[in-house]
Structure 1
Amino acid sequence: MTPKKKRRSAVAFVESPLQFLSALESHEPTEEMLIRARASAKGMTSFLDAFDPAWLPKNVRLDRDGAKPGLLRKTAFDRIYLGDACSGQVHRALALAYLERRMPEVVILDDGLATYSAIEILTAKRGPLVRPRQKLKASRTVMAAHVADRLRGLATVGKLRWHTALPVAKSLRKAFLKSGGEITRHRFEHLQTLPTGGSHPRDNPVIGSSLAADGLIDAFAYRAWVDEIIDAHGSITYYPHRRETEEFLTDLAQDERVRIKNLGLPIELRLINLPPNSTIRSLPSTAAVSLAVLNPDVTIDVTEIPAKWWTGASPDSLRQSLNAQSVKADDDS
């Protein structure tokens, strides 16, 4: 009798709803996956409370303890999935657990448009894994540089992969592959099997943006953009970003033509399987890209951010990369 093949063991560290959904898409039937969600991250508690555990794939478990070095010391995982490759909590767990040990295969998951920055850093010969606009203390910079070097080392031996639904520019793809990394793609296959329903096209869905709340674009210009959509279509359903302020949303809700959907589940779970004649309106965002994948017959109307909207709090590279994003992947991605 042939003995049963042992299942691979994997852990996924996630700190946002999109990272969580990306982990589900990355799971392979032959592996046991533990998802460690950082419940203290903004928006995660409400998301985890709203997420039905029955939606987890077979052989996937979930807990809310986040990335801890103790877990990595005690368990010899065959693979680690990273939702936020620039997370300080993740860096600490990896640095302490693998200080004198070989690191297993690592898979980078989608973390919004910030994923592009992380991949660019890993394709460079040196430099710490930090988010755009992030300023770290010296000790954190050293740790972020150490983890980046360890991941670059994994790439050289074929143990670093990026699993993504995002469109990948040819130059970035070429650089990552040249470094030894691998790119695999998904189209939210698991997500499309979930019974989460959709929204009626008359809702005129508008995807909220965090850019004004983060101080990157002018709040009055952003509100004027939303008002223009309302005036043009009579009513909208507004899906807030998790970092938008209560003050902004309360003010917006004063307009009786606006229906605000404050839901714990991410927009990818709510605006799935829309009828073909629907239109979703958005500024450049990862959600717009994800929804284009999930709804190929739906119009995704993305408004390019005018130069005069920017507050000057973001580097030119971020502005250029945001406006350069397409909701369609490259032909040869």
Structure 2
Amino acid sequence: MDRDAVLAWVESPLQLVGAAEWAEASGRTVPVAGRLTPQMSETADELVRRGARFGPMDPYMGIPWRLLAQHDHWLVGDGFSGQFRLAASVLRPRRVTFLDDGAHTHAFAATVLGDRPYSRPHVAERGATTRLAPLAFELIQRRARERRAGFFTAFDLGPHRESALGDRGFAVTRHRFAWTRATASPVTELGHRLVLGSARPVDGRMTLAHFVDWVRAIAAEGDVTYLPHRREPQEQRAAVRRIRGVHLHETTLPVELVLAGAEGRVDVFTLPSSTTTTLPLVTQGLDVRMFTAAQRPLGAVA
């Protein structure tokens, strides 16, 4: 095994963007094992078009055992994954770096510090996933003590948590989507009022009726372009499409890539999500304002 070989093991478009940012920041070419979905394929194609430092890109279903065994440094998109727990327990990588998995980044940092159980937020885990948790946790802690574990993140983990992670041996490297901004192309076809879709109804965190009411209230103040979340079912998209003043724009790219090249004033409406962290970074220097469900601006960067 090549002691310096690195592999990005990613499952979502945002994780794939994080891998591209890590590759650029480190100046290294990174092969990728990416989950086999249309969204991942199109995001990968776009990142390669922009010049991402990616090596061979292998789509997979399940655990890419052969690729993981050939690489001793894993860039991991989902530290809560049962597949990661199994692969880490069996193969025991020499180094592991955790990329952002949306807002779960905070929960995972708290997990490795022992401040919460090793379980995915809002999910009742059972079976092998639970039984593997202590084995994967031990591997992560051992690599941290050896100074071979860390986070590469756009999220502010807070000075107390970052200090605690450093004391445990974890390296914490912050990034601000500099490569994503630098490689963006101008985007003008989306209009000046955008509503970001959400998987909250799918996850049971709000009803579809309440979600539709939220979109309708925004559209009542002026026409909007709606960008669906990648996990929205057709039922939710159809309900939104029926709202007067809403123009649904289908895209499989993550919103961070879509809006990095926004031109002119753009108002973005979103429910609380990881985009309230990522988009202000991606749109730094642009005339973009973000609003929560309560219509309060989170900050304008001009």
1:92 aligns with 2:81: no
Q: Secondary structure at the match of 2:29?
A: strand
Which residue of structure 2 aligns with residue 198 of structure 1? 187
Which residue of structure 1 aligns with residue 21 of structure 2? 25
1:241 aligns with 2:235: no
1:270 aligns with 2:258: yes
Structure 2: which 5+ residue stretches go unaligned?
Answer: none
Cα-to-partner distance string for 1:114-147 (whole Å, 9 max, x where unaligned) = 111111100117843x211223333221212211
Q: Is 2:98–2:152's contact at 8 Å kept on the other side of the alignment?
A: yes
Which residue of structure 2 aligns with residue 300 of structure 1? 290
Which residue of structure 2 aligns with residue 154 of structure 1? 143
Which of the pair is proportionally richer in strand? 2
**For the residues of structure 2 that align with 1:85 and 1:206, how far apart are their CA atoms?**
30
Which residue of structure 2 aligns with residue 317 of structure 1? none
2:268 maps to a residue whose letter is: I
**For the residues of structure 2 that align with 1:259 and 1:91, how far apart are their CA atoms?**
42
Which residue of structure 2 aligns with residue 57 of structure 1? 52
Which residue of structure 2 aligns with residue 137 of structure 1? 126
**For the residues of structure 1 that align with 2:56 and 2:251, how far apart are their CA atoms?**
23
Q: Label 1:213 to 1:62 Cα distance change in 2 as closer, same or farther (>3 A).
A: same
Q: Secondary structure at the match of 2:260?
A: coil
Q: Secondary structure at the match of 1:35?
A: strand
Shift, 1:184, TM fit: 0.6
User: TM-score, normalising length from structure 1?
Assistant: 0.79
Shift, 1:18, TM fit: 0.2
Structure 1: which 5+ residue stretches go unaligned?
Answer: 1-5, 306-325, 329-333
Q: Which residue among 75, 94, 99 is the counterpart of 1:104? A: 94
**For the residues of structure 2 that align with 1:16 and 1:304, how far apart are their CA atoms?**
28
**For the residues of structure 2 that align with 1:228 and 1:256, how far apart are their CA atoms?**
10
2:105 maps to a residue whose letter is: T
Q: Is 2:208–2:236's contact at 8 Å kept on the other side of the alignment?
A: no
**For the residues of structure 2 that align with 1:155 and 1:253, how far apart are their CA atoms?**
48
1:90 maps to a residue whose letter is: F
Q: Which moved more, 1:216-225 or 1:105-114?
A: 216-225
**For the residues of structure 2 that align with 1:219 and 1:76, how far apart are their CA atoms?**
43
**For the residues of structure 2 that align with 1:127 and 1:60, how far apart are their CA atoms?**
35
Q: Which residue among 19, 25, 39 is the counterpart of 2:36? A: 39
Q: Which moved more, 1:218-227 or 1:188-197?
A: 188-197
Root mean square deviation of aligned Cα:
2.7
Q: Is 1:192–1:272's contact at 8 Å kept on the other side of the alignment?
A: yes
User: TM-score, normalising length from structure 2?
Assistant: 0.87
Which residue of structure 2 aligns with residue 211 of structure 1? 200
1:278 maps to a residue whose letter is: V
**For the residues of structure 1 that align with 2:110 and 2:67, how far apart are their CA atoms?**
29
Cα-to-partner distance string for 1:60-98 (whole Å, 9 max, x where unaligned) = 33111264223233x243x21000011122222222222
**For the residues of structure 2 that align with 1:9 and 1:264, how far apart are their CA atoms?**
30
Q: Is 2:19–2:75's contact at 8 Å kept on the other side of the alignment?
A: yes
Shift, 1:199, TM fit: 3.8
Q: Is 2:21–2:179's contact at 8 Å kept on the other side of the alignment?
A: yes
Q: Secondary structure at the match of 1:273?
A: coil
Q: Secondary structure at the match of 2:75?
A: strand
Q: Secondary structure at the match of 1:212?
A: helix
